[in-house]
């Protein structure tokens, strides 16, 4: 992650997904987006984002990347995007300091409301993050094996949703969540990702749906900035104290 001495005041937060790239600058109210897909290389992504944000002021960038991320950026090329992400110099391309985390981690950070939180991202696979005491712990719960050798990522991912249908898929998700909450001693669980919207109330106790703006908020929090409280399921989340976040 690129750093500089003076703390930035305005952040451009970018959520890179397999079907679209969404972005929002702190102080702005309406996200903008571009299509992604297998032809989208990082240089093209930066070029298009910069073109659509010429009227926005920002002095640092956060990126939520749909793949494995290390201290210097992406560690693996994404299956559903173009190539060239590993080793790409995002800070030079944006001419701004850049911090990059996994997209599930960025949405989890934006969903955090204190205590010990388990975040599950329901998308192509199963993203997972544990947060406690301003520390993000990325998990790979999607690699756990279900009976028959199927992983939880395969059982709860988009392919499983399409194959089993919404009703059966919902039952699978809601059966798994309480056991994971107990296993991680989580005060609450947030269900995010593109497919979370398919779940219906009532949810198990201590479980809530994420909000589609929380990924941007997570990008701001990577730099120690917290925007105004976000409305989640009709309730206003409280602001978290500003400060540095540790990523294990």
Q: Is residue 63 part of a domain?
A: yes
Per-residue pLDDT of the chain (248 residues; tens, 9 = 90+): 444 456 788 999 999 987 889 999 999 989 999 999 889 999 999 999 999 999 999 999 999 998 889 888 999 998 889 999 999 999 999 999 999 999 999 999 999 989 999 999 998 889 999 999 878 998 989 999 988 788 999 999 989 999 999 999 999 999 999 999 999 999 999 999 889 999 988 899 999 999 878 999 999 999 988 754 444 444 444 444 445 666 65
Phi and psi at 212, nearest 5°, equal -70, -10
Say if 26 falls within a structural domain: yes
For residue 22 the two structure tokens come to 């969404």
What is the domain count for the chain? 2
Q: Are residues 91 and 27 in the same domain?
A: yes
User: Is 181 in the same domain as 225?
Assistant: no
CATH code of residue 49: 3.30.420.40
Rounded CA separation 180/118 (Å): 8
Residues 190 and 102 in one domain: no
CB atoms within 10 A of CB 143: 13
Does 6 map to a domain?
A: no
Torsions phi, psi for 232 (to 5 deg): -125, 115
Sign of CA dihedral 179, 181, 232, 98: negative
- Write out the residue range of the structural domain in which residue 45 sits: 11-106+213-247
Asked whether residue 38 is assigned to any structural domain, the reply reads yes
- Same domain for 53 and 75, yes or no, is yes
Cis peptide before 130 (omega within 30 of 0): no
Break the chain down into helix, strand, coil percent, rounded to 5: 30, 25, 45
Distance between CA atoms of 74 and 193, rounded to whole angstroms?
Answer: 20
142 and 170 both lie in a single domain: yes
């Amino acid at each position: 992650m690129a750093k500089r001495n003076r703390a930035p005041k305005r952040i451009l937060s970018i959520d890179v997904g397999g079907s679209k790239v969404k972005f929002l600058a702190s102080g702005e109210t309406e996200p903008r987006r571009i299509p992604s897909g297998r032809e989208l290389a990082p240089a093209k992504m930066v070029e298009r984002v910069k073109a659509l944000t010429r009227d926005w002021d920002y002095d640092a960038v956060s990126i939520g990347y749909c793949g494995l991320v290390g201290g210097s950026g992406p560690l693996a090329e994404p299956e559903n995007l173009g190539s060239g992400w590993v080793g790409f110099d995002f800070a030079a391309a944006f001419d701004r300091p850049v911090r990059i985390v996994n997209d599930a981690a960025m949405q989890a950070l934006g969903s955090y409301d204190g205590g010990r939180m388990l975040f599950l991202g329901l998308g192509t696979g199963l993203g997972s993050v544990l947060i406690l005491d301003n520390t993000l712990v990325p998990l790979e719960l999607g690699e756990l094996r279900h009976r028959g050798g199927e992983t939880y990522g395969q059982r709860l991912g988009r392919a499983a949703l399409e194959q089993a249908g919404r009703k059966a898929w919902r039952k699978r998700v809601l059966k798994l969540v309480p056991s994971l909450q107990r296993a991680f001693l989580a005060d609450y669980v947030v269900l995010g990702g593109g497919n979370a919207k398919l779940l219906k109330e009532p949810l198990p106790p201590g479980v809530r749906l994420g909000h589609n703006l929380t990924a941007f908020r997570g990008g701001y929090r990577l730099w120690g900035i917290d925007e105004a409280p976000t409305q989640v399921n009709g309730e206003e989340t409280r602001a978290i104290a500003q400060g540095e976040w540790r990523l294990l």
